[in-house]
Every structure is written in structure tokens, then in C-alpha cells.
Structure 1
């Protein structure tokens, strides 16, 4: 799993809550929308020292018929959830979307992540783009863990919530 997948997980969660969202900096051309949209980016990832030295235990893998060792650590991810809206939607549309997003993130949040902090700036109008904009950040907590084969080779890493390891 790469960090782009983590962004996509947040986009999927927001869309499932009825909030128009897309990954920031899409490879495709931007589509003009009638309402507010959240542009999701990953601004920071903090997880302590390098490596997976924190042993979490073992699990039995049914497919391989072998025991696998788990290593991991807590991580803190800072998402950019910047809101953009056309003139017709305006600052009121930005505020309505922010309120729905805040409620959705407080209620449950994306799988494997727990919201710690949500903050936003003021809504401003960008003359060049012709859009209203409000910077939004969400700080989420989870676990980054890896599975090791016999001999210590790591297979993959996964982001999980605290209660799912």
C-alpha cells in the first residue's frame, strides 16, 4: 500500500458520506462542479524512527499455512481537505460542506483512522481561479504495521486503526 492509497481511502469515505471529494492533483483534467468539492492531499505522516522494530505479535496465515510476525507503530497523518466552490455556490456552500464533513469525521471517520483534530481557515475568493477556497486540515491517528515472513523479510505495510490489529 502506498500513501496515494491512503488519500484514496479518505476520498472514498467522504464520497460515501455524500461529500463531493477527489484526490488533489489528479492526473485527469479538472471537472467544473456546481457545488463545493474537497481536494484531498496527504500533507504529513509522523511515525517515529525508521524501521519496524516494534514487535506486535504473530498471526496464522491460512493461505500459506505459516505463522507471520507483525511489527508496527502508531502513525499520525495530516490530510489536506481543502474546499473549493464556484461563485454560484459561494461561501455558504463551502460552510455547509465543511459542517457535513466535520460531522462525518467526528462520527466515524475512514476505516483504520481516528480523527484527532480538524481545523480550517477563512473562506476566500480566488480571482484567478474564479473559485471560493477554504483550507482545511484533518489530523488522524492509526497504526502502520508490516507482516514479516520467516527470515525477517517484510511483505507489505498496512494502515490500521487502534482496535483492528
Structure 2
């Protein structure tokens, strides 16, 4: 599962949509559409990395397709997602709360593939007079690994974001 950092927010939006939370990537190339209900605007606010193992060595895995062992090198990462919620005036603060509850349950249950939820926080729901929308700031800290796969001889094949397995 190869992933660029630009794709990470798209994966989060896809995951939330699959869990019944209307979500779009913040700052889309296309124009904004007015929604009937609450929507989460997904952004990537921060990425912090740290050592994942000794000299960034994470271990080996067997690639059944090539029939060879591959070495894994990488870093543990913590991603801060902005999952800000917006709702039209007619939906009100109740639509924001309902969307937040769905989002919290979806992230607590399993979260997007390759990432594990560490923390979910939110602010108060406020009404933006200028935009005519209710708004609540939401942030999710998720942990995973950014790693590279090396085949025999030390050639790196690809960089991948992957999460920890749950126990």
C-alpha cells in the first residue's frame, strides 16, 4: 500500500465516508458544494517522525509474489488530522454533534487502514455569521509507520505508510 503524503487525507476522507460520515478533503481543486447536512473537512495539519527501531531497521517480511525476503526500514510517525465539522444553519448544532459522534465511533472502532487513533479532541460548536454555517474544530492524532522496503542487496523499492497491529 504505497502512499504519498498528499494521499493520506484522501484515505481518511474515504474511510469516514465509508463509515457514514460525509467527508471531503479541505482545500479541494473543485468549487465547494453546499451540503444539506454536516460535513467533515479533512486536512493534514502535522506529521512528526521518530525512530521505529535500531538504526531505523524494523525487520523482515517474506514477499510471496517475488519469493524473496525483504528488509524494512522506517520511522514511527504521528499524524495530526484536521477533521473540522461544518453544518448549514437549518441542521444546527445537533447535526454537528451527530456527525462528531459517528466520527468518534468509527475512529475508535478501527480507524483508517494503516493508522491507529491515539487521541481525538474537539472544540465548541460555534455559528459563523459570515458563512452562515455552524462549525466545530476537530483534531485526530493517529500513529503509523513510514517505511521503505529493501530487496536483497539493499535496493529500496517503495515507501509505505503502515499502522501497528492491534492487540
After superposing the two structures, state which structure 1 stretch, 66-75 or 105-114, moved more.
66-75
The structure 1 residue matched to 2:11, chosen from 9, 12, 15, is 9
Per-residue CA deviations over 1:102-122 (Å, capped at 9, x if unaligned) read 111111111111111110011
* Superposed displacement of residue 65, structure 1: 4.4
Structure-2 residue corresponding to 1:104? 106
Q: RMSD across aligned C-alpha pairs, in angstroms?
A: 1.8
What TM-score, normalized by structure 2, do the two folds share? 0.89
Distance in 2 of aligned mates of 1:80 and 1:53: 31
Distance in 2 of aligned mates of 1:60 and 1:103: 35
Structure-2 residue corresponding to 1:37? 39
* Superposed displacement of residue 148, structure 1: 1.8
Aligned ranges for residues 84-103 of structure 1 at < 5 Å?
A: 84-103=86-105
Unaligned runs of 5+ in 2: none
Q: How many residues align?
A: 162
Unaligned runs of 5+ in 1: none
1:67 aligns with 2:69: yes
